[in-house]
Amino acid sequence: MSNSENRESPSLEELGSASESVVATLAALAPDLNDSSLYIHRELSQLQFNIRVLEQALDEDKPLLERLKFLLIFSNNMDEFFEIRVAGLKSQIAFDHEIVGPDGIPPKRALVEISEIAHRQIERQYSILNEHILPALDRQGIRIVRRDAWSHKQTLWVRRYFRHEVAPLVTPIGLDTTHPFPLLVNKSLNFIVQLEGIDAFGRDSGLAIVPAPRVLPRLIRLPDDVCEGGDNFVLLSSIIHAHADELFPGMAVQGCYQFRLTRNADLTIDPEDVEDLARALRGELYSRRFGDAVRLEVADNCPKDLTDYLLKQFGLTSAEMYEVNGPVNLARLFGLSSKTERAQLHYPPFTPSIPKVLKKAEDLFQVIAKQDVLLLHPYESFAPVVDLLRQAAKDPNVLAIKQTLYRSGANSEIVDALVDAARAGKEVTVVVELRARFDEESNLTLASRLQQAGAVVIYGVVGVKTHAKLMLIQRREGPELVRYAHLGTGNYHTGNARLYTDYSLLTSDRALCEDVHKLFSQLTGMGKVLRMKKLLHAPFTLKKALLELIGRETAHATAGRAAHIIAKVNALTDPKVIRALYKASMAGVKIELIVRGTCCLRPGVPGISQNIRVRSIVGRFLEHSRVFWFANDGDEQIYLASADLMERNLDYRVETGFPIEGKKLRQRLKKELELYLSDNTNAWLLQADGLYQRPHAGTNQTPRNVQAQLLDKLCGAGAVTGA
C-alpha cells in the first residue's frame, strides 16, 4: 500500500507556501543562481545537438544509407541554424540592440565562437562524406561518378543531357556596368565563372554568374547501358561545370566554381501592424528568399580573388565563408535513398501497432467513452486519431468539431477529414497557426481549402503562436451533448507521426474535455482567462504550475521525504525553470532530464546541480514527446505537454499540459521513461563544461537501445530488435 493511501497528501498550495520558506532559507546560504557561469549559451548548445546528429554518420552499427541521412540532416539543421539563429544575432548587432542572456555572452562573442565550431564541424562533415560514406557506398555499388572518372560513353551521355535538358534552361549572366551582380535566391546553387576574351558586343569584364536552374534535379541517374553495374549518379553541378564553355561561345573559360549563399529567412512581420495577416504573410514569404546574407559556401579550390569578390558583393567577412570539399548543396543527396533499392542499407521496416482495445472497434466513440487511450507514435499507429476524425465527419450525431493545426500539410488526411466534415454540414472550427516557421505557405493553402469547404478558420491570437495540439468533437448522445477530445505532444502530421516520437491521448473525461472547450472559446472569442479544472495552458497557468510542482518536490526533499523529477523535452532554456531546478537539486531532489536538443542548464556543478543528470537521445526517430513526472512522495503526478521548457513556449505561445490520471497509464509512462534513462546506445550525457559524452556499455552491461526496445515491445513481430 502506498503512502498516499495511508494519509492525505498536502495540496499544491500548502506545499507551495512551504516551498517559499525553503527557498528563502536556501537563498541565504546558496550561491548566486543568476551567475552567468551556470548557464550555457542557447545557440552554442544548439550547435552541440547538431554535432550529435553528425556523429551518427560515423556509427557503423547503423545502416549505411541511414548514416548518409544523418550527415544530410546535419546540413539541413545547419542551414536553419544560420537562417534563423545566426541571422538573429547578426540583426541584433546591426540594429544596435544586443541582447545578453543569462549566460552573459554578448552576440558578437557568440558569433565568434559559433564560427569557430561551425567551421570545424563542417570540415569534419565533408571529411566523413569523402573518407567514410562515399567509399562505403562505392563498395555497395552506389557511386556518384566524378567528372574525371567519366568513361567515354558516360561523357557522351552527359553531353547530350546537358544540351537537351540543362542548356535550354540556364541563363548565364555576364557581369558589367549594365549587368550588375544578380540578386540570388536563398540557398540556390550558383557558379562564378572566370572568362577570357571579348564577346560580340566588345565586352570583356572577365566574370559571369551561372545560376543552376531550380527546376532541375541535382542528382541524375546514369543509364545502366553506359555503366558497368551498380547504381551510378552524376551531380548537376558536375554537368554544368563540365560544359561551362558551351554557355560562353567564343570565350575561354579559365575557371568555374560553385557557391551557395544562405540568407536570413526569419519573417519580420508584426501581426499587430497589419489588418490582414494572411495577405501580409503571403507578401513576406517572397522576401524570405532574398533576406540579408549570413553565410557563403564555396568550392575549396576557388581562387582567393574570386572569394574576396563574392564576400564583398554579399557584405560578408572571411569568417562567414565556408570552403567545402564537395557539393555546396549537400542536402540534395537525399535522393540517393529514394533512387536506389537497397533495403539492407536502410533501417528494417516496421508496422505501427494498434492497441487491442481499438483493433476491432467499429465505433471509436464507444471505446473512448469507457476509457482513456494513450498512444505512443510511431510505435503505435497515428491511424486511430485520423479514424476518429473521419468517423466524426460521417457520424450524423456529431454536431461540431474543433481543431488546432500547427504543422499538418495542406493535403493531409487530417485536413481531408475536416473538409469532409464541413461539407457534411458539421460546425467545423479550425485554429490554423499561419506563422509555423517554414510551413507558412502550406498553412495558407490548407486554410484556403478549409474556408472553401465551409469551415470557420481562425488564425490564432495576435502576437501569440498557437502551438497546442487539440481536437474536440461534440456529439449528440440521447438527450446529452457529449465531448470527446484528442490531446497530443506532436503535430497533426501523418508523415511526422512515422518519424517523431509523440504521445496522443484520446479521452472523454468530462472535466478535461470541458477545459479543452474553454480553451477553444478563448482562442476564437474574447474574454478573461477561464479557470480550468485539469488542463494547464500557456501563457497563463502552465509555467506557474510547473514551477509549483518543482517547488513541491523541493519541499518534500527539505522535509526528508524522497523527491524525484523526471522530465523529457526537446529543449530547456527558460531561466526561471532552470533556477527552480537548481534550487530543487540543492535541496536534494533527484532530477533526471531527457533533453533532445538545446539545454542551457549546466549539470553536475558541485553544491548546485550535482543532483541533476541530463541526457540526449539521438537515434532512428526524432524524440519529440514532452513528459513531466513528479514523485510527490508516492502520490506521483504525470503531465504530457505540447510545450518545451523555453520562454517562447511558456510565455509567448498557446500551449497545453494535460494530466495522465489512470493508474495503468501512469505506470506505463514511468516504465517508458525508465527505458530512456537506461539507454546506453543512443544516449549522450551533458557534462558541466557544456559538452556531451556517450555512455558506453561496460563489459558486463547489456547494450540498451530505447527505440529498439520500444519497437520490439509495441510493434512485436513488425520490428527488428537491432533497428
- Write out the three cell numbers for 616: 540526449
Answer for the pair 702, 679: CB distance below 8 angstroms, yes or no.
Answer: no
DSSP state of 529: P
**CA gap 412, 404 in Å, rounded:** 14
**CA gap 625, 631 in Å, rounded:** 19
Annotated catalytic sites, by residue?
A: 467
Q: Is 77 annotated as a binding residue?
A: yes
Identify which of 608, 621, 614 has the alpha carbon closest to the alpha carbon of residue 573. 614
**CA gap 162, 711 in Å, rounded:** 46
**CA gap 701, 23 in Å, rounded:** 40
Answer for the pair 703, 681: CB distance below 8 angstroms, yes or no.
Answer: yes
Which residues does residue 628 pair with via DSSP β-bridges, in sequence order? 567, 639
Q: Is 596 annotated as a binding residue?
A: yes
Place of cell 555497395: 140
C-alpha dist (Å) from residue 431 to 122, 416, 524, 534, 655: 40, 16, 8, 22, 13
**CA gap 441, 445 in Å, rounded:** 6
**CA gap 213, 215 in Å, rounded:** 5
**Helix/strand/coil for 65:** helix
662 CB neighbour count, 10 Å cutoff:
14
Answer for the pair 686, 614: CB distance below 8 angstroms, yes or no.
Answer: yes
Place of cell 518543482: 550
The dihedrals phi and psi of 21, each to the nearest 5 degrees, come to: -70, -35
Cα 86-87-88 angle, rounded to 5 deg: 90
Q: Is 624 annotated as a binding residue?
A: yes
Identify which of 366, 365, 344, 367 has the alpha carbon closest to the alpha carbon of residue 356. 367
DSSP state of 642: S
Task: Measure the CA dihedral 579/582/586/590, to 10°.
Answer: 140
**CA gap 504, 484 in Å, rounded:** 13
The dihedrals phi and psi of 616, each to the nearest 5 degrees, come to: -120, 135
Cα 329-335-337 angle, rounded to 5 deg: 130
525 by Cβ neighbours in 10 Å (0-12 / 13-18 / 19+) ranks as exposed
Q: Is 500 annotated as a binding residue?
A: yes
- Write out the three cell numbers for 578: 532552470
- Give the gyration radius of the chain's Cα atoms: 28
Cα 63-65-71 angle, rounded to 5 deg: 105
Contacts for 625 with CB less than 8 Å, ≥ 6 apart:
376, 489, 490, 501, 502, 503, 568, 640
Answer for the pair 395, 475: CB distance below 8 angstroms, yes or no.
Answer: yes
Where is 590: in which H helix or E strand? strand 590-595
Question: Binding site for ATP: what residues are annotated?
Answer: 77, 500, 596, 624
List the binding residues: 77, 407, 437, 500, 596, 624
Q: Which residues are annotated as a binding site for Mg(2+)?
A: 407, 437
